[in-house]
Amino acid sequence: MKEKLMIVSLGLLPFIMVLGNSMLIPLLPDIQSSFQLNDVQTGLVLSAFSIPAAILIPVVGILSDRHGRKILILYSLLFMMLGSLIAISSAAFTTASFSIFLIGRMIQGIGAAGTTTLAIALTGDVFHREKRAKVLGILEVYNGIGKVVAPIIGATAALITWHAAFFVYPFVAVIAFIGIFLYVQNAQSGKDVISIRAYLQKSLMIVYQNKRILFPLFFIGGLGLFLVFGILYYLSFLIEETYHIDGFFKGTAFLFPLGAMTITSYWSGKRIKTDEKVMKKLLLLGLSFLLTMFAVLIIIHSLPILMFCLTIAFAGLGFVLPCINMMITSATSDEERGFVISIYGTVRFLGVAIGPIVYGVWMVNERTMFVYSFFILLFGASWVMYQMNMISIPFTKKHISHK
C-alpha cells in the first residue's frame, strides 16, 4: 500500500508540472483580452513559466545528486504554491498587473524545475529493471492525464473568471507535498564528497561518452514537447476564433489527441520492460505515426482531418516518450543520474517554452507551419534511427543495463 501511495505521490509531480501551462492554453484568448496583449506577449504567459524551469533544472539536478531528491522536491512544491498566490493576487492591481502576473508565473517555473525531472530521477534510484520501466510509464501517464484534463479544468474555470484556474495549482501542490513528505523515501544518491567542479567534470564526461545515444534522445524528447505545446497553442486560437467554440466544449476539443497519447504512454510503459528491441520498435512506430500525420496535414488541414491526424500523431508520441525516459534513466549510475536527467528535463522545458512562441509566428500560414513541423521531425527521426541503428533491428533480444 505504501508503495502505491509513493507512486501516486511521484505521479502528481509531472501532473502539476503539466498543469503549469496546459491549463492556461484554452484561457489564452481571455488572458490576452484581459491584459490587452499582442501575440508575442501572450506567448510569454507560457514561456515565463517554462524558461526559468529550463534554466534551473540542471542546478536542481546537481543539488539533488548531492543532497537528496526528496528535500528538493518539497522546496519546489513550496515555490509552486507561492508563485500561484502571486499570480492570483495580480487581479487586485490596476497598474502593472501583467508584470506581477509574470513574476508569479516565473516563481511557479522555479518550482517546476524540481518536479518531473526529480520524479524520474527518484524512480531510477528506488526502482529497478521491469518495475522501473513500469513506474516510468506511469509517470508519463500522469503527464498525459494532466494534458488531457488541464484544458478542460482551465476552460471550465474560465466560465467564472480565468483567475479561478490559479487556485488549482496550490490545491494540487499541497496534496503532492503531503504525499511526498509521508510516503516517498529519500533514496541514496550521490554523496557530497567531491567538489562541484569535479562532480561536473565527471558528469559531463559521462554525457559525452554516451553522446551517440543521449543527444538524439534529448532532441526528440524536446521536439515532442515543442510540437505538443506549439500545436495546442495553435488549436486554442483556431477553435475559438475560427470555429467559435468556447467554454467547456473548447477544453474537450483537446481530449482526443491528448487522450490518445496518455493511453499509448501507459501501454508502452508496461510493454517495454527492459527489452531494447521492443523500445526501438516502439520508437520507430511512434516516429512513423508522427511523420505520416504531419505529411498529411501539409496537404489538407480542415478541422476534422486536423483532429484525426493530431490524435494519431500524439498517439505516436505516446509510444516514443516512455522509451526515451527508460533509455536515459538507465544510461547512468545513481550518482550522476540527477544531472543527466536534468539535461533531458531542460531540453523538454525548452521545447515547452519555445513551442508557443514559434507556432504563434508560424500559424499565420498553416501550410508553411506544417511543412516546418514535418521537416524538423524528419531531421530528428533520421538522427535517432541512424545513431541507434533502428533500420536494422536485431532479432535477438538485448536488455539495457541498469546502473
**198-207: pLDDT as tens digits:** 767 777 787 7
Return the pLDDT at 222. Answer: 93
Evaluate whether residue 277 is within a structural domain: yes
Evaluate whether residue 400 is within a structural domain: no
Q: How far apart are CA 151 and CA 147, in angstroms?
A: 7
Task: Give residue 287's domain range.
Answer: 2-189+202-387
Return the pLDDT at 394. Answer: 46
Evaluate whether residue 353 is within a structural domain: yes
Q: Residues of the chain whose pLDDT is less than 70?
A: 186-196, 199, 242-251, 332-336, 338, 390-403
Return the pLDDT at 79. Answer: 96
Q: Give me 314's grid cell.
A: 500524439
Return the pLDDT at 172. Answer: 92
**135-183: pLDDT as tens digits:** 887 887 888 788 778 888 887 877 788 888 889 999 999 999 999 999 8
Evaluate whether residue 402 is within a structural domain: no
Return the pLDDT at 244. Answer: 65
Q: What secondary structure, in 3-state letters, does 383-399 show?
A: HHHHHCCCCCCCCCCCE
The tally of domains found in the chain comes to 1
Residues 253, 299, 384, 203: is their CA dihedral positive or negative?
A: negative
Evaluate whether residue 197 is within a structural domain: no
Residues 156, 317, 337, 355: is their CA dihedral positive or negative?
A: negative
Q: How far apart are CA 163 and CA 31, in angstroms?
A: 9
Evaluate whether residue 395 is within a structural domain: no
Evaluate whether residue 22 is within a structural domain: yes
Q: What secondary structure, in 3-state letters, does the chain show?
A: CHHHHHHHHHHHHHHHHHHHHHCCHHHHHHHHHHHCCCHHHHHHHHHHHHHHHHHHHHHHHHHHHHHCHHHHHHHHHHHHHHHHHHHHHHHHCCCCHHHHHHHHHHHHHHHHCCCHHHHHHHHHHHCCHHHHHHHHHHHHHHHHHHHHHHHHHHHHHCCCCHHHHHHHHHHHHHHHHHHHHHHCCCCCCCCCCCCHHHHHHHHHHHHHHCHHHHHHHHHHHHHHHHHHHHHHHHHHHHHHHHCCCCCHHHHHCCHHHHHHHHHHHHHHHHHHCCEHHHHHHHHHHHHHHHHHHHHHHHHCCCHHHHHHHHHHHHHHHHHHHHHHHHHHHCCCCHHHHHHHHHHHHHHHHHHHHHHHHHHHHHCCCHHHHHHHHHHHHHHHHHHHHHHCCCCCCCCCCCECCCC
Return the pLDDT at 198. Answer: 73
Neighbours of 310 (CB within 10 A): 25
- pTM greater than the 0.85 cutoff: no
Evaluate whether residue 93 is within a structural domain: yes
Residue type, 30: D
What CATH number is given to the structural domain containing 214? 1.20.1250.20
Return the pLDDT at 309. Answer: 95
